[in-house]
Amino acid sequence: MRTPARHRRTRAVPIAIAVAVAAGAGGVCLGLRPGDANAATTVTVSSTAQLETAVKNASAGTTIRIRGGTYYPTATLKSTANGTSADRITLAAYGGEQVKVDGSKLPDGSWLAGIYGDHWTVQNITWQNSPAQGFVATSSVGGVFKNLVTANNGDSGFTLRGDGTTNNLIQNLDSHGNYDPAGHGRNADGLAVKFGSGTGNKVTGARLSDNSDDGMDLWQFSSPVTIEHSWAYGNGKNRWNDTAFEGNGNGFKLGGGGATAAHVVNNDAAWNNSLHGFTENSNTGAIQLDRNTAYANTASGYYVATGTARLGKNLAVKNGTGPAELGSSTVSAGNTWDSGIATPSFTSTDATTAYGARRSNGSLPATTFLTTGSTTIGSTMN
């Protein structure tokens, strides 16, 4: 899964680029003078061609600022360039402007974006309508992927994959409506961290909803991933009138494919999924699940039947086949299904506010849905 280009740690010589903003935005040239220190590294784009060129030519220290609008690339936006911890490569919306990158003009089977480099920051962009995956980062080191939307793509919305995938942060991702018609829905997850390894990867503040397969899938990822303050709901439902539909519909699928990893799952919530809220999926690693909430999932709230997981202070209510299906090697203590533990009442079971707009900094919306006021058990829903 690794790409030879990632091992080339030499810094490319920057090319001075000054891109004029479209006349509708004032026609101001935002490039700096060639003699300035940052002249080669800040590029402002306002057309699809400019965006394609800027991504292709990025090098350590490049910042690409995208003006508001919708962009329609005709080939995958791809880069093998590496940033460094001191000189990152940044791809982001200009200011507070709304940017959408739309894959509806791509050839069948194409990804919308493929990054094969280290130390990228990608933020405040919607990636939508790809014929295949929306956004894919392969063997990324030190990536920051923040305030993104991946929607209505023809496979998984956001994918982090490959060996050497280390110290990446996925923060405030909304990934919804992804569906793979060729696979009848069995592959398209909201967020996939799969087919690889590497420590220090963290997901926080994600909403993973209404995808044909799972909300989050850690299939064949053999190193621990931390997942916190994230929600998965409405996954695995056939919204596409596919008569041969095969989507699973777990909220959080925490392994599978023979990989063993002690993932850490804290303060998350899964509701209204068509299978389990949380499942080990035959991952025999020592998964830790603490202070999560599973509500009204079609199967069990927590399915941990074969592994050595530890579950503590989790809440489960109204799941179809029961609160938890646990194996003999699982440690369960202080959860609402354990002896002597009371199930607190929900403040609200109206999810309307949870589906609303995020806060101005990109964090999850304020909600009383599935909150209990408890300081000891269940997700705090924030």
pTM: 0.90
Tell me the per-residue pLDDT of 309-328, one tens digit each, with 9 for 90 and over: 999 999 999 999 999 999 99
**C-alpha 266, offset from chain centre:** 16
Tell me the per-residue pLDDT of 42-66, one tens digit each, with 9 for 90 and over: 999 999 999 999 999 999 999 999 9
Please give the CATH superfamily to which domain 133-382 belongs. Answer: Single-stranded right-handed beta-helix, Pectin lyase-like (2.160.20.10)
- Which two tokens mark 212? 């044909």
- Cα–Cα separations (whole angstroms), residue 27 to 21, 35, 44, 71: 5, 22, 12, 19
CA pseudo-torsion sign 104, 105, 111, 113: negative
Helix H or strand E segment including 51: helix 48-56
Which DSSP category does 321 fall into? T
Cβ contacts of 51 within 8 Å, gap of 6 or more = 45, 64, 66, 71, 73, 77, 101
If you count them, how many residues does the chain have? 382
pLDDT of residue 88 exceeding 90: yes
pLDDT of residue 14 exceeding 50: no
Query: In this structure, are residues 138 and 171 in contact, taking their beta carbons and an 8 Å threshold?
Result: no
- Cα–Cα separations (whole angstroms), residue 283 to 75, 99, 163, 176, 375: 37, 38, 18, 25, 30
Helix H or strand E segment including 228: strand 225-228
pLDDT of residue 101 exceeding 70: yes
Tell me the per-residue pLDDT of 105-116, one tens digit each, with 9 for 90 and over: 999 999 999 999
Tell me the per-residue pLDDT of 215-270, one tens digit each, with 9 for 90 and over: 999 999 999 999 999 999 999 999 999 999 999 999 999 999 999 999 999 999 99
Query: Where along the chain do its domains lie?
Result: 9-105, 133-382
Q: Which residues are catalytic?
A: 253
Q: Is 156 helix (H, G, I), strand (E, B) or coil?
A: coil
- Calculate what percentage of the chain has a pLDDT beyond 70: 90
Can you tell me the distance from the alpha carbon of 116 to that of 163, in angstroms, rounded to the nearest whole number? Answer: 12
pLDDT band at 307 (very low <50, low <70, confident <90, very high): confident
Q: Beginning with the edge strand found earlier in the chain, give each strand of the sheet holding 149-151 in spatial order.
A: 69-71, 99-102, 126-128, 149-151, 174-176, 207-209, 231-233, 269-271, 293-295, 315-317
pLDDT of residue 294 exceeding 50: yes
Closest CA to 349 of 372, 379, 321: 372
Q: What is the pLDDT of residue 84?
A: 96
